[in-house]
Structure 1
């Protein structure tokens, strides 16, 4: 596994750790007798890449759904220009290309989209607010669909069903290109994220590492790097919701009207739906309160404060981190090395979500020290050394508690 993938994601944080774990800790130069095997591996990788390219992406379910979404948005975008929206056309596109799949995977999303469509059509809601609810809730569906495809790809690869794994993975790549990357770019621009902090780079690095693992048939690496891709997309949705909370507070101070604030609130709510269930596992009360704050007709958007939403997000995300930091050593003790590494990576990807808040509160130097401890913790878990992991774990959790 090449270092370049992780370098873009973590810089020093985790850069070497997963590489060492994937390569058995041996980074020595290739021996002459290994050249023939390396060439054989390259031929196999090239063959597998060719097989992936044979998939007609336009014929896949994900591509058809993304196309239906694009068609819907082509009509819905008229509301942003104060033009009349043909709601019947949007309804037809939704029902023909998305509704069945959304209802099957996340029925609550279907209900929200249908309600927003009806409210926009009958005039119960400002058209642009309906549009934002439909747009962002559909994007939340695509995130959940990505998770389902990741699970499908990982299971297929573990069973050596390369063709099935490839089919699922190319759909993930397509959704990243059409849905996740454009959204991530907006967050990168808003928060001025670049290099190892860039959401776009993190998503692409995760996908590249996953693809390499898939081509080499390494199911274990695929599962570990899956967390880089998935949680980077997750971070994009989190930062989207967080940014709208900040914009609402600024907007209220600037005297923006209730319509403008409600549009932001609708966007925050729609993006939040993607991660609400997961955050509830970190802190149910905090997740529920965030949902309440972002819900139209429940909270006046002019009263939303960035500090409050940031604190709630930190509380829920900290709960997720603590859960993985507790679970991973237990999995090592039980002899479940693969799940332990996957869980450790997942815990550290949640830690990365709090990097901005941590830097703001602790400063750059102390934050980097926390990430160095997190890297060492991952190494200890990957190397089956739960005792060595304990001290590093305590240091990371102590820092996290300092944010609460």
Structure 2
């Protein structure tokens, strides 16, 4: 397939992704109707989840799509059938909840594979990575359900198991990043789930909220390491491949774009300029030879630093409430996401000081000790502002 054709086909995906947040703008008058639709969707999903083994169906679809890597014919009719009968409702529900367009992207990609207008390996990557996004956002959905049903132990325990089941589909992706970067994210996520289970048993809602953040933000770190981190993110891989093999580079650019969708919305909410810049680099209408991994990496550093600053600001504003400790932890976790990058900019010693200060501030927020917390927070904020400047 010619590169021009690939760019043309993919344009629809990029256009749709560029309006993720705009699509979420709804008239307030429609809210009651939306809530009823969401309630119906939740009931349908609950019923479907009892009947569908999502992990098994996803694996079956990927196994069929993997034939493309061996130069074999892919039965796109079979994959489409597996998707529409078993996965599409889940995808559509997450699209409605998180203002996304995953169903549109997946459906168009499978059709493009079927009519041979898109490289089947590219189709495989789009399907795989966007389904991973859906499984990730379903973990987040289950956490919301837990929070809403707190105090109903049986329901909470059931939803914890569902969250763990959806995470288990993603665990291989986490393991791959652990192997590539020498991180221990699988252990961290396991620890987060352990905290959640302990909190549910002892009716410790703050413990649940903290454990939830550990799982969520460590999964976000996984997607960052897969996309914009050096030296093993797809931005770096795509740029390197572009010097040798344009088609391979385009496939890796597509992988980067699809993985990035899992964190785009969150980044866009807090750091729109950086989110758009990263999107434009992974956009398949961008010549892969012009994809600059340094630009992507620095945009991520600025973006996640901005998010950390926002979380810390919220923490101070919510002082004395559980939310203050939760957002203090979020700030620390966003620092951790780009920890190696920060270390490269300010040095190991100063980075160590920053992580110690993040822990001190978290403890002060938990203890509601504003006198101890405020001076430490000022130092954290100054360091993050410095990081942003250095990453320009």
* 8 Å contact from structure 2 (residues 238, 249) kept in 1: yes
Structure 1 match to 2:35:
none
CA distance in 2, matches of 1:191, 1:244: 14
Cα shift readout 1:319-348 (whole Å, capped 9, x = no counterpart)? 11111111111111xx4x211111111111
CA distance in 2, matches of 1:58, 1:236: 30
CA distance in 2, matches of 1:119, 1:76: 13
Structure 2 match to 1:222:
208
TM-score by length of 1: 0.80
SS for the counterpart of 1:186 is helix
Superposed, 1:66-77 pairs within 5 Å as: 66-77=55-66
* 8 Å contact from structure 2 (residues 122, 251) kept in 1: yes
Higher relative contact order (CA 8 A, sep 6+): 1
Which residue of 382, 386, 391 corresponds with 1:402? 386
Query: Which ranges in structure 1 are unaligned for 5 or more consecutive residues?
Result: 1-56
CA distance in 1, matches of 2:77, 2:48: 26
CA distance in 1, matches of 2:222, 2:147: 23
* 8 Å contact from structure 1 (residues 60, 171) kept in 2: no
Q: Judging changes above 3 Å, is the alpha-carbon distance between structure 1 residues 63 and 235 closer, same or farther for their aligned structure 2 residues? A: farther
CA distance in 2, matches of 1:62, 1:128: 30
| 1:256 matches 2:249 | no
Cα shift readout 1:105-128 (whole Å, capped 9, x = no counterpart)? 215000010111011111111110
1:353 deviates by 0.7
* 8 Å contact from structure 2 (residues 136, 167) kept in 1: no
CA distance in 1, matches of 2:272, 2:51: 31
Query: Which ranges in structure 2 are unaligned for 5 or more consecutive residues?
Result: 1-45
* 8 Å contact from structure 2 (residues 80, 110) kept in 1: yes
> How many residue pairs are counted as aligned between the two chains?
335
C-alpha root-mean-square deviation of aligned residues, in Å? 1.8
Q: Judging changes above 3 Å, is the alpha-carbon distance between structure 1 residues 282 and 59 closer, same or farther for their aligned structure 2 residues? A: closer
Q: Judging changes above 3 Å, is the alpha-carbon distance between structure 1 residues 104 and 116 closer, same or farther for their aligned structure 2 residues? A: same
* 8 Å contact from structure 2 (residues 213, 330) kept in 1: yes
1:64 deviates by 2.4
| 1:204 matches 2:190 | yes
1:93 deviates by 0.2
| 1:390 matches 2:374 | yes
TM-score by length of 2: 0.82
CA distance in 1, matches of 2:239, 2:117: 26
1:155 deviates by 2.2
| 1:373 matches 2:357 | yes
CA distance in 2, matches of 1:350, 1:62: 37
